[in-house]
Amino acid sequence: MSTPVLSLRDLVVEIPTRTGVLRPVNGVSFDIAAGEILGVVGESGAGKSMTGNAVIGLLDRPARIVSGEVRLLDQPIQSLRGEALRRLRGKRMGMIFQDPLTSLNPLLTIGDQLTETIREHLDVGQSEARERAIAALDEVGIPAARQRIGSYPHEFSGGMRQRVVIALALCAEPELVIADEPTTALDVSVQAQIIALLKRLCRDRGVAVMLVTHDMGVIAEAADRIAVMYAGGVVELGPVREVITRPFHPYTGGLMASTPGASKGMRRLRQIPGSMPRLDALPDGCPFHPRCERAEAACRENPGPSLAACDGRAACWFPLTEPKEAVS
Amino acid sequence: MAQNEIPRAPSRFARARNSDLYYSFTRTPVAIVSAAVVIVLVLAALLAPLIAPHNPFDPGTLNLMNGFTPPGEANAFTGDYFLLGTDDQGRDVFSTMLYGMRISLFVGFSAVMLAMVVGVVLGLLAGYLGGWVESTIMRIADIQLTFPAILVAMLIFGIAKGITPPAYRDQMAIWVLILAIGLSDWVQFARVVRGATLVEKNREYVQAARLVGRAKFSIMIRHILPNVLNPVLVIATISLALAIIAEATLSFLGVGAPPTRPSLGTLIRIGQEFMFSGEWWILLFPAGTLLALALSINLLGDWLRDALNPKLR
Amino acid sequence: MLAYIIRRVAQSLLVLLVTGFVAFSMFSFVGDPIDNMLGQERTQADIDRLRGQLGLDQPFVVQYYRFLEQAVQGNFGLSYRQGRPVSDILMERLPATLELAFVSGFLALAGGIGLGIFTAIRKRGVSANAIMTVSLIGVSLPTFLIGIVLIYVFSVEMGLLPSFGRGEVVRIGGWTTGFLTESGLKALILPAITLGLYQMTLIMRLVRTEMLEVLRMDYIRFARARGIRERSVNFRHALKNTLVPVITITGLQLGSIIAFAIITETVFQWPGVGLLFINAIQFVDIPVMAAYLMMISVMFVGINLIVDLLYFAIDPRLRVDRTAAGGH
């Protein structure tokens, strides 16, 4: 298999606070290949957006990467700063934000924002950049792109704006796109269109996508593989069909059971008892053990195992594959 | 009866907030120092008759021979000693300053109280009654806001002075000042209170109170006033610094406290005349005091705004 | 948009009518003009005749209308103190004030916006923090004290610059200017700094706050994520958005420069309309007060209107939204 576009190894992000050091991202590892969509799911605060921000180098102070590796194709980029990092952004990795209403500059036309980005990264003149901008808008399905290129963001609907955002993220032809909750702020009817668009563009161009969302439905629809995050770590990683139909990690199991439509049949939705621990009050041992029905002494005493310990699928001492007395 | 039915939440809120405030206070050195300066100055002004070595308003104790005594030196003719020197008429600068600060603080406090009462009442009325009352009040506020407060104060001072018979002008000057500065500064209070009133007006409990035919207005006041306490307090503190500066400015310009009852601004006006001839102390001490007073109240106001309104941090 | 402008013009007219009413009331209620115009030896016949002449026997509304009619033609009668037409005195004094206000306004705007941007971009820098601390003192320092300090340092101690007056002026038509002589320019320096410094501090702090606010917006993050250069992010994306709210307050600030000129002119004995106004208050010279009030309201209203129109130039959203949004 060829080199993955994005490769994370034991990424750790820390936030020093007055009361102690928090670790919103604690040893995350995964790869994304060209043309592949990796869905990253988890509750809010699980560290999924923070991971995305760390990759593209947009962590808000005082959060910072303290160890681990972020590799873009062959190049380690975790320690890049300033100008070197800026050249990568947009050109080799793009980012799509959650809210299309706020992620476009209201005072610049969408054409201005597109051509600016294109000219920043590609060696083209103004008129060539404009043609490319029109082509980019066309590609994301903005009707009459040539006429609308001079429009301001407020003249578009939410769904159309998100298309513009996608065009902006992809216009300099990056190899990696990080989409942070790209559909959360949209109407349900528009969500499917945006997901389909994202999927089509990535397939066509062979772009690697890190799709961050808390919406299992979106993942099931779009992703090839799935990474489930809990309290700063990846607890399960695998092909999306397998993980959904046969989760290994009890947390993933709970997540599926509590998601309508993700699990087959008309079973009652179940809840995972309790809530995710706060970063400043992580329990000893496996962070999930206080909420886990299968937890035993080992879980309280030892941190969760690495993914590798369980066929590279789940970070759990007692994965759901192992027969255990029936879980009610 | 009705009072008992209302939960006693506000007082608990107040206590919780006070403790937060206290916590933030003890962790902000700037606030502690500013508060200390303000307290010392206010105490000095209040106790002026006890502290001041001379009574600058008693012509009997003045000796023109003592004029222009530099600070910390004995007078060449009389041998009298003055801590901060004397002015041209032999008045002790330290004493005139204490009494001047008294007037400055009195005018400042009274003007802010006036502005607060006028602003809160008009804001409540505007928010509660709506309709033409609201548009009239807010239009007046808009029009007044078009002009800087100091200009409005000057104008009110000028008009009030014109109405006052000449014989009473000096006597009335302090009250005219309070009126002028107070009326120039009510708009901010009114805006905040009106905003809060509009929000409260549509809350369920007010609607419910109306359904059962209870006096909506009095209930609203009980709920609105606690809600606007914080912003009003912040505005009042910052207004106090502004009012003291406004008073000093007007007096300095000769349209405020008269030389017979000088405030800090009047003293600076007097002192400025001697700047060129080398009697720097007549100017420096009142000016320094005014600056210390205004700066520490401003810093306190800044801290208070940050402490009470984390959103602005 | 047209409807909005019409409404704004109507509002401006309302402001002028109200200030006109205040000015008119000063004539009617503050001191009896008959007293002021007739000497000691007056008969009832004289009084009645003058009353008729002045229209004081007319109904209130008619008197008000007459006053406005006269005011529009710039006729405010004779100064009680100088016995000359108020409009002549004002026109004589106006150039001094306008030249002073122009120079300080320029100082305040250029310095305020420049320093505001600097302190916002370098918000953790040592020099930016030093500037912020100094500016807090600047806000607390009353204008007249700034003037006194400057006079003390540059006139009394160093003997470099004049402490009062306008220096030599050159007469060009009805205008007198201090820009063309050395002594005129030297005389301008201290008053201009005195008047501009306070406004500069305010504008600086305002620009800084707004800019910091804007720099936190999603579209700034998105621009960074697209690899837009820092310079372009700050000056193209952030500054333009900062300017929208800044323009209103700045416009009002520039208006208040004309009002604060009263203080500066008194400190430096600058022969402008502000000094005239202060003297008028001291001597209860009603016609001068009224004329000054009217003059300054025309200026303020004019500035406000220009500010409103500038909005449309900067913010494309207003061109459509405002008219539809109506009242609020």
Which CATH homologous superfamily contains domain B104-312? Answer: MetI-like (1.10.3720.10)
Q: Dump pLDDT digits (tens) for B272-284.
A: 888 777 777 778 8
Q: What is the pLDDT of residue B17?
A: 56
Sort out which chain B residues have CB atoms less than 8 A from C259's CB and list them.
Answer: 147-148, 150-151
Concatenated DSSP letters for chain B? -HHHHS-SHHHHHHHHHHHHHHHHHHT-HHHHHHHHHHHHHHHHHHTHHHH-SS-TT-GGG--GGGTTPPTTSB-TTT--B-TT-B-TT--BHHHHHHHHHHHHHHHHHHHHHHHHHHHHHHHHHHHHH-HHHHHHHHHHHHHHHHS-HHHHHHHHHHHHHHHS-GGGHHHHHHHHHHHHHHHTS-HHHHHHHHHHHHHHHTSHHHHHHHHTT--HHHHHHHHHHHHHHHHHHHHHHHHHHHHHHHHHHHHHTTSSS-TTS--HHHHHHHHHTTTTTT-THHHHHHHHHHHHHHHHHHHHHHHHHHHH-GGG-
Total residue length of chain B: 313
- Are C143 and C259 within one domain? yes
Q: What is the pLDDT of residue B195?
A: 85
Chains B, A in contact, 3 or more Cβ pairs below 8 Å: no
CA–CA separation, C38 vs C46, rounded Å?
8
- φ/ψ of C22, rounded to 5, equals -60, -45
Q: What is the pLDDT of residue B162?
A: 78
CB contact under 8 A, A120 and C224: no
Residue B267: band (very low, low, confident or very high) from pLDDT cuts 50, 70, 90: confident
Compute the average pLDDT of residues C90-117: 90
CA-nearest residue to B276 within chain C is C156
- The answer to whether C97 faces chain A, any CB pair under 8 Å, is no
Give the gap in angstroms from C-alpha C260 to the nearest C-alpha of chain B. 8
List the subunits that have 3+ CB pairs under 8 angstroms with C: A, B
Q: What is the pLDDT of residue C284?
A: 78
CB B87 within 8 A of CB B284: no
Q: What is the pLDDT of residue A314?
A: 76
Residues 176-235 of B with CB under 8 A from C: none
Q: Dump pLDDT digits (tens) for C142-195.
A: 888 888 888 888 888 888 888 788 877 788 877 888 787 888 888 888 999 999
Report the 10 Å Cβ neighbour count for C231: 9
Looking at the structure of chain A, the number of domains it has is 1
CB B153 within 8 A of CB B250: yes
Residue C39: band (very low, low, confident or very high) from pLDDT cuts 50, 70, 90: low
DSSP element (H, E) containing C7: helix C2-29
CB contact under 8 A, C226 and A90: yes
- Are C13 and C135 within one domain? no
Q: Dump pLDDT digits (tens) for B102-119.
A: 999 999 999 999 999 999
Which residues span the domain enclosing C160?
103-282
Q: Dump pLDDT digits (tens) for A135-178.
A: 989 888 888 888 889 899 988 988 899 889 999 988 888 899 99
- Pairing label, strands A37-41, A93-96: unpaired
Token pair recorded at residue B247? 């008073």
Residue A182 sits in a domain of what CATH number?
3.40.50.300
CB contact under 8 A, A103 and C224: no
Sort out which chain A residues have CB atoms less than 8 A from C241's CB and list them.
Answer: 105-107
- Are C218 and C193 within one domain? yes
CB contact under 8 A, C224 and A154: no
Which residues span the domain enclosing A297?
33-58+81-258+284-301
Look at residue C195 and tell me if it is in a domain.
yes
Domain edges within chain B? 104-312
CB contact under 8 A, C260 and B148: yes
Looking at the structure of chain C, the number of domains it has is 2
Look at residue C46 and tell me if it is in a domain.
yes
CB contact under 8 A, C222 and A104: yes
- Are C238 and C189 within one domain? yes
Sort out which chain B residues have CB atoms less than 8 A from C13's CB and list them.
Answer: none
- Are C114 and C191 within one domain? yes
CA-nearest residue to A122 within chain C is C227
CB contact under 8 A, C29 and B150: no
List the subunits that have 3+ CB pairs under 8 angstroms with B: C
Token pair recorded at residue C241? 């958005």
Look at residue A72 and tell me if it is in a domain.
no
Token pair recorded at residue C298? 């025309």
Least trusted range by pLDDT, from A5-9, A194-198, B90-94, C299-303: B90-94
Look at residue A6 and tell me if it is in a domain.
no
CA-nearest residue to B278 within chain C is C156
Q: Dump pLDDT digits (tens) for B24-64.
A: 777 778 888 888 888 988 888 888 788 777 777 776 666 66
CB contacts < 8 A (B, C): 109
- The answer to whether C319 faces chain A, any CB pair under 8 Å, is no
Minimum-distance CB partner of C227 among A90, A103, A105: A90
Sort out which chain B residues have CB atoms less than 8 A from C255's CB and list them.
Answer: 146, 148
Q: Dump pLDDT digits (tens) for A4-40.
A: 888 888 889 988 877 778 888 888 888 898 889 999 9
- Are C49 and C20 within one domain? yes
CB contact under 8 A, B151 and C143: no
Which one of C140, C286, C308 makes the best mutation probe of the B interface by having the most chain B beta carbons within 10 Å?
Answer: C140
User: What average pLDDT does the structure give for chain C?
Assistant: 81
CB contact under 8 A, B255 and C256: no
CB contact under 8 A, A120 and C226: yes
- Are C125 and C245 within one domain? yes
Look at residue C37 and tell me if it is in a domain.
yes
Asked if this assembly's ipTM is beyond 0.90, the reply is no
Look at residue A90 and tell me if it is in a domain.
yes
User: What average pLDDT does the structure give for chain B?
Assistant: 79
Sort out which chain C residues have CB atoms less than 8 A from B245's CB and list them.
Answer: 140, 142
- The answer to whether C235 faces chain A, any CB pair under 8 Å, is no
- Are C120 and C144 within one domain? yes
Q: What is the pLDDT of residue B139?
A: 84
CB contact under 8 A, B245 and C277: no
Look at residue A147 and tell me if it is in a domain.
yes
Look at residue C87 and tell me if it is in a domain.
no
